[in-house]
Each structure stands twice: as C-alpha cells, then as structure tokens.
Amino acid sequence: MENLSCNKSFGGWNKQYSHHSQTLNCTMRFAIYLPPQASTGQKVPALYWLSGLTCTDENFMHKAGAQRIAAELGMAIIAPDTSPRGDEVADADGYDLGKGAGFYVNATQAPWNAHYQMYDYVLNELPALVESMFPVNDQRAIAGHSMGGHGALVLALRNPQRFASVSAFSPISNPVNCPWGKKALGAYLGKDTASWADYDASLLMHQASDFVPALVDQGEADDFLAEQLKPDTLGAAARHSGYPLQLNRHEGYDHSYYFIASFIEQHLRFHAAHLGLQP
C-alpha cells in the first residue's frame, strides 16, 4: 500500500491509500478515518461507506462532516472508490456506466468482467486488507448514498452475518425497474434479467428471513425520487417480510451532500448502537 495523504481530524487521522487489488485487477484507492481511540492500541469497529455515481473515495470524507461523531464514538470509517480505475479498465460514455459507476456488482459480461468485481472487493478484499493493516476489528456496519445506498443494502441483505447494521441515503432501491439500474445491470450482467434480482434491494428484502437492522433516509425534494430511487417499493418489501427497516422521508431535502451532512450523525449513532459502542 502507498499512503497518499494524512490529515489529523478531531484527534484522529484521515488517510488515503492506494493498493493493487487482486479482485479488480487494477490499482485502487480508499480513504480511512481512524478515530483517536485507534491510537491507543485499541481495535475499533468500522463503518464502510459506499458513494454514489460520479463519486470517488474523497466525496464523503470531504463533505459529510462525519469525523467529529466518529471520533466521539470510536468508529473507523472506510470509503472505497466507486469503481475500478486505470487506462486498462473498460469505460463508457456518460456518467451512469463504467468508471465511477461500478454499481457494486460482480460483472459477468465482457469487457466489464475483467475488472468490475466491486461486490467481492467491498465484501472480502477490502475488509481483509483494512483489518490486517490497521487497528480495526471485524465488527462491521455498512452505509451508502444513491448507487452506494443500493450497494450497501444489497451487501447487507445478502450477507447478514457480516454486518451489524446497514443504512442508506436516497438509495436506488429497485434497480431492475429504473433507468439507471436497467442500463447498468444489463451491461454488467447481461440480458438474463433473472440474474439482476441478486442486486435488487427491494426484491431481496421482500424475501428476506435473516435480518440486519436497516435505516434509510430519503429527501422529498430529490429530483430522482420517483423515476430512479423508488423508496415506496422498498418500504412495501419490508412490510411484506417484516424486515426491521426504518424509512424516513424528509420534506425539502434533495439528493446532495447537504442532505447527507444534515442527518449523518443519526446514521453514525444508529450504527454505533448495533456495534456495541453505546447503550
């Protein structure tokens, strides 16, 4: 690993690293916030944050204002990039496919399958790397925004034993039925739409029987609300299966990091309670 930056923040350290990913077959970058408790030799639990379309590992760390509360709680935050990068990595015109738009799936179709294995990277390779190199234990929560909210929900729903809790801001909740999802899943997974169901949070939640506590916040002034995000479908799925989903709707809030920054403290405290960091 190569350390790219290091900045002290609220008594802890915000760092950025690059490393070669065997899963993605390219050089990847991630950011990590280590709270002050991690400097005492204590291993701390971690929240993995998955960002949305066009974002990198930097957006959340720079804009969400999460470090103050993470420092108080003793929680590490790990933010991977949103897709593989590099000259050899396949790309597409537009912002909603290719670099910056990995959708946290394991691609099966060429040319994407050579590098776009973000599901396995976030689930396995990145936590193994972080837990071997930093004072971070194997207690994990996961969260994300938009495309990253979709990724967080899918990873938690499919791997309830790996995550203590999951939360999302404005997630793409039913990608098999929205334009962003149809474009990405069709390219990465192919024309067999049956395979798409493995990456649809609403479909997974509808049939779930092993639960991870879930929190979702959605702004009512979000330009993508009806066509792309479909939180009502997610809510209906939770009611069907009895899933422990807290779905909050907020008047006037949009899809931006102003929304995330307004409610990130509630999300961190939600995860802290399930990670055993507070009563």
Residues marked active site are found at 146, 222, 255
3-state helix, strand, coil in the chain (%, to 5): 40, 25, 35
Q: What is the CA radius of gyration of the chain?
A: 17
161 CB-contact burial (10 Å; exposed 0-12 / middle 13-18 / buried 19+): exposed
Q: Which two tokens stand for residue 73?
A: 């709680």
Closest CA to 148 of 60, 61, 220: 60
DSSP strands (E only) in 150-251: 166-169, 214-219, 245-250
Q: Which two tokens stand for residue 196?
A: 């798409």
For residue 181, give every residue at least 6 positions away whose Cβ sits within 8 Å of its Cβ, in sequence order, or none: 103, 150, 172, 174, 175, 196, 200, 228
State the pairing for strand pair 76-80/26-34: antiparallel
Residue 125: count other Cβ atoms within 10 Å of its Cβ.
18
